Structure 1
Amino acid sequence: MKQFSRRLWVRASAIGAIGVLAAVLAAVAERFVPFEIPGSIKADSVDTILNIIASSMLAVTTFSLSAMTSAYGSATSNVTPRATKLLIEDTVTQNVLSTFVGSFLYGIVGIVVLQTGAYGDRGRVILFVVTIGVIALIVFQLLRWIDHLTTLGRVGETTSRVEDAAARAIEARRQNPYLGGSPLQDRKGKDADGMTPVKAGSIGYVQHIDMQALSTLAERSGGEIHLSVNPGAFVYDDSTIAYFTSVTAVPEDDIAPEDALRRAVTIGNERDFDQDPRFGLVVLSETAQRALSPAVNDPGTAIDVIGRATRLLSTWAEPVEDQEPQFPRVFVPALTADDLFEDAFMMIARDGAAQVEVQLRLQKSLSALSRLGGSDFRAAARRQATLALSRAEKALPIEADLKRLRDDLSD
């Protein structure tokens, strides 16, 4: 439902329906006004205004769609195609375009109803007042849209969106390291023996895991569910996504536990930011990778991405209070620090190995991260720093640059 509500056509349809209702209800509302409204509005006056709204909003909507498409293309070319999803789900863009579409429909329906003579004297006054309100809303959204277009699709703004999405996912996972379930490693020696494996049944990325549905299934069967995957994992038809035990027999008319479990694990063609902290780090890293390509040659963007990734991982390193699992019968594997560091820095270290300025910032960031968090986190930072240095030693063409890098590491 959350992903459905983010689609542009959903919001445009909702606001468009409001515009249609506003035009129709103005004709009905006059019956419920018990007093005479001072002043009189001629039908021609309202008709002229509605015509202006309808014609101008159609042109503005067409232009806005063109500008939006150009921004998506710019983000795809200069950042990464994976970032365009955040632009498509941008609430400002959706609200502005929906307002334009709703105003266009309001104008069209208002003209049609006006020509039928459905508006009386009071109805035309009400329609005129509503029209003034629509004009004010259009002006506000136009000014907002002009300001928004100055940054939409730009590298810095798009990268900030990716960082924000990654930060939300990291904070949510930090607060609930096992998605509200129990840690998989604390199973008191239990393994998959005697448990029923559940295959994915399709090929794609694990986008979302419905922990509430899994918990309900486990409680009804009196058993446990041990997930084998985290959101973001790529699975095949025969990949095992979970193991489960069932103590209580499931009624014959109920859905089979395997099918119910599969329904709770959403598999799609693309990764999603919401439950997948690693995806945000990957998209940031791809942005730096593109900036470091010979065609772009923009080490500044790569250095900026290193700073953003450092902020995100420092958040992950912050301690969190132990909490009782919300879904104790569902066991979830942990995210490892090694995976997070690899997602954030491996591609940057590889593609920026021959650029000393990138390597210097990378080593400084990894050195700072190696002083944070627990032992696993610090060890992962040191391992990534060692790998980055090894790549730099093979790629840096000038001994002076390599000496500078080593000197900075020894400080």
Structure 2
Amino acid sequence: MASTSNALIGRTGWLLRQVGKQVWLRTVLFSVAAVAVAVVAAIISPYLPYQPDLTLASGSVQSLLNIIASSMLAVTTFSLSIAVSAYASATSNATPRSTKLLLSDPVAQNALSTFVGSFLFAIVGIIGLSAGVYDARGRVLLFFSTLVVLVLITLALLRWIDALGRFGRVGDTIHRVERATIEALREAGARPGLGALPQRSAGPGAIPIRHERTGPITHIDCGALQEIAEDNDLRVYLQLLPGSVVHPNRTLLYVEPSPGDAAREELRDCFSIDRNRAFDHDPRFGLVVLSEIASRALSPAVNDPGTAIEVLGAALRALIEYGAALRGAEQPCYDRVFAPRLAADDLFAMLFDPIVRDGAAMFEVLARVVHCVAALRDSDPAVMGEAAQSIAGHALAYGEERLAMPWERAALAAIAAEQGFAAQ
């Protein structure tokens, strides 16, 4: 069953995805390509089978390269300062956990990569022209390569200018977190328990496996667990999901029968443990970050209930997507691995409880919470009904305690009753 095409991404693929999100990778690739173009133009020009009609003096091409070199250095420095300011803005106005998404923004990465690569292309071209390594045909190739680079610079600048108006703003940050959370929730809903069988208790002779590292789990290679179990005739009982914090005294999984030392190390290697949580396979983290943004907006220093209401809208869309994915969930594809499922009450608690607590004195926030959980209950009563009732009860209890005006408390109770929630 492990060979199914629906298997979750393995450890190697996940690591490649993480590397692909790093800004240095695109910068290095574009820079290497740009330098290679400038060098190749000098190498292949003697072997061209024709003599171009266009003739260029070395100074005409060098003037263009001088402009690119001087301007790109300034633009790169300016763009980096803007990016750093955006990261600082997201940290202070939203939450520090959201800066991961800004750092992996493809528009910003492409812009910086294009600017740095163009600068290096111009420098290598100037050096080549000064050293006389380009003949007439080489200067023509370099000229047309320079035109292509100018087009790439223009496109990158236009996209970067379009993105600057919203890059790092609170609304943009909420949208990025929402997209990352929806992607993780869709995956979790489509393949509950990482594609493993539903969790069940291990036998009395099961062996606990722990890890020597401490930190949150960022990825579990369930396909590798299945292969190890098949090769060693084991059954694996996962105890944790991505996002859970592990330490040397916390059990990752139980295995039966007892595996050999080599198999135990292989089982541990299926877990990626980092210092910080990641959005990719941890939908709970996305909900926590959304809740943090709302809590900061509701703090007395900020006092911005509108942002909290915007977060609630984003969370509503994300959880509705999760319910839709869960209704169309695929069959488990790993028959030797058992794993827990995400619990709706946990998802609701980590998202809504901090917002209800910090917005307890604001009628509009509590009312929006009640409307949101009612919509989620109606979208999937079997999965989310009990959790929605619990959060609505919390909102009513906080409102009764913290809302200043009697009419606000009465209005909140009326809204809850209209949505079918009874006070607890």
2:178 aligned residue:
163
Structure 1 window deviating more from structure 2 (321-330 vs 91-100): it is: 321-330
1:366 aligns to 2:373 (yes or no): yes
2:6 aligned residue:
none
How far residue 49 of structure 1 moved from its aligned partner, in angstroms, is 1.1
1:18 aligned residue:
33
Question: Which one of the candidate residues 396, 403, 409 is aligned to 2:410?
Answer: 403
1:151 aligned residue:
166
1:345 aligned residue:
352
1:311 aligned residue:
317
1:273 aligned residue:
279
1:70 aligned residue:
85
1:141 aligns to 2:156 (yes or no): yes
1:335 aligns to 2:335 (yes or no): no
Q: Deviations over 1:322-344 (max 9, x none)?
A: 53322211111110000110122
2:204 aligned counterpart, secondary structure: coil
Contact preservation (8 Å) 1:317, 1:374 = no
CA distance in 2, matches of 1:238, 1:114: 64
Equivalent position amino acid for 1:203 in 2: T
RMSD: 1.4
Kindly report which structure 2 residues correspond to 1:68-147, keeping only aligned pairs within 5 A, or say none: 68-147=83-162
Q: Deviations over 1:176-216 (max 9, x none)?
A: 0121211113xxxx524211111121111011111122111
Question: Which one of the candidate residues 225, 230, 247 is aligned to 2:241?
Answer: 230
1:174 aligned residue:
189
2:422 aligned residue:
none
Question: Which one of the candidate residues 22, 33, 44 is aligned to 1:7?
Answer: 22
How far residue 32 of structure 1 moved from its aligned partner, in angstroms, is 3.2
Kindly tell me the number of residue pairs found equivalent between the two proteins: 402
Equivalent position amino acid for 1:280 in 2: G
Equivalent position amino acid for 1:400 in 2: W
1:73 aligned counterpart, secondary structure: helix
CA distance in 1, matches of 2:409, 2:71: 61
How far residue 367 of structure 1 moved from its aligned partner, in angstroms, is 1.7
Q: Deviations over 1:143-197 (max 9, x none)?
A: 1111111110000011000000000001111110121211113xxxx52421111
Q: Deviations over 1:93-145 (max 9, x none)?
A: 00110000100110111111122211111010000000011011111111111
Question: Which one of the candidate residues 229, 236, 241 is aligned to 2:252?
Answer: 241
1:216 aligns to 2:222 (yes or no): no
CA distance in 2, matches of 1:367, 1:374: 10
Equivalent position amino acid for 2:211 in 1: A
Equivalent position amino acid for 1:264 in 2: C
Contact preservation (8 Å) 1:290, 1:296 = yes
Equivalent position amino acid for 1:375 in 2: A
How far residue 51 of structure 1 moved from its aligned partner, in angstroms, is 1.2
2:202 aligned residue:
191
CA distance in 1, matches of 2:322, 2:381: 10
1:36 aligned counterpart, secondary structure: coil
CA distance in 1, matches of 2:233, 2:55: 72
Q: 5+ residue gaps in structure 2? A: 1-15, 419-424
Contact preservation (8 Å) 1:204, 1:234 = yes
CA distance in 1, matches of 2:329, 2:321: 17
CA distance in 2, matches of 1:403, 1:219: 61
Contact preservation (8 Å) 2:238, 2:338 = yes
Contact preservation (8 Å) 1:37, 1:122 = yes
Contact preservation (8 Å) 1:218, 1:246 = no
How far residue 246 of structure 1 moved from its aligned partner, in angstroms, is 4.4
CA distance in 2, matches of 1:130, 1:353: 62
CA distance in 2, matches of 1:32, 1:6: 39
CA distance in 1, matches of 2:359, 2:241: 30
CA shift in 2, pair 1:293/1:182, >3 Å: same
CA distance in 2, matches of 1:209, 1:235: 13
How far residue 297 of structure 1 moved from its aligned partner, in angstroms, is 0.4
Contact preservation (8 Å) 1:169, 1:277 = yes
How far residue 271 of structure 1 moved from its aligned partner, in angstroms, is 0.6
Question: Which one of the candidate residues 253, 265, 268 is aligned to 1:262?
Answer: 268
CA distance in 2, matches of 1:322, 1:174: 6
Q: Percent identity at matched positions?
A: 45
2:299 aligned residue:
293
1:274 aligned counterpart, secondary structure: coil
Question: Which one of the candidate residues 343, 356, 363 is aligned to 1:356?
Answer: 363
1:56 aligns to 2:71 (yes or no): yes
CA distance in 2, matches of 1:306, 1:192: 43
CA distance in 2, matches of 1:322, 1:68: 39
How far residue 357 of structure 1 moved from its aligned partner, in angstroms, is 0.8
Taking structure 1 as the reference length, the TM-score comes to 0.95
Structure 1 window deviating more from structure 2 (34-43 vs 311-320): it is: 311-320
CA distance in 1, matches of 2:399, 2:46: 79
Contact preservation (8 Å) 2:214, 2:273 = yes
Q: Deviations over 1:274-314 (max 9, x none)?
A: 11111111110110000000010000000111111111112
Equivalent position amino acid for 2:413 in 1: R
